[in-house]
Amino acid sequence: MEFHKILVPVIGTEADEEAIRLACGLAKKNKGKIWVVYVIAVKRALPLDAEIESEIRKAEGTLDHIEGIAEEQDYEIDTDLLQAREVGPAIVDEAAEREVDLILMGVTYERRFGQFTLGNVVPYVLKNAPCRVILYHQPIT
């Protein structure tokens, strides 16, 4: 499989780090382009363009960190910070707009009410993505 345009959504977990390394590896062969996107979910109590400083700081920190990892891999990436009501649709829209051929995202092992859960972002992306999707699942520590 060849990938020329890859979208890597991140939220600041360890799985993101592996996901970006993988993306760099996959893109290198064709000198493909990588966009890393962080989506801030804005609560309805605030307008969509509200500037939530703590969230923005966390997002920028994560994007800087990911950029650093890509640099270690000797690869240049573009980063983007988005605000949306729902993360899943924002990722899918971004993928469609940039016409990427792959969404690569890291998944952490999470339990809620004693049950393993993928949350609602991953299932939404799997269901609605206009392109291929690769999930990287973090081993259980």
Residues that bind another protein (CB under 8 A): 43-48, 84-86, 89
Separation between Cα atoms, residue 30 and residue 52, nearest integer Å? 38
What are 111's two structure tokens? 């339990």
CB of 80 to another protein, least distance (A): 19
Q: Which is nearer to another protein, 44 or 111 (CB)?
A: 44
Q: Which is nearer to another protein, 7 or 92 (CB)?
A: 92
CB of 86 to another protein, least distance (A): 4
Q: Which is nearer to another protein, 67 or 93 (CB)?
A: 93
Which bin fits 17, alpha (ψ -120 to 50), beta or left (φ > 0)? alpha
CB of 38 to another protein, least distance (A): 18
Q: Which is nearer to another protein, 88 or 106 (CB)?
A: 88
CB of 90 to another protein, least distance (A): 8
Residue that is written with structure tokens 């972002």 in the block? 121
Is residue 103 within 8 A of residue 95, CB to CB? The reply is yes
H/E run at residue 41: strand 33-41
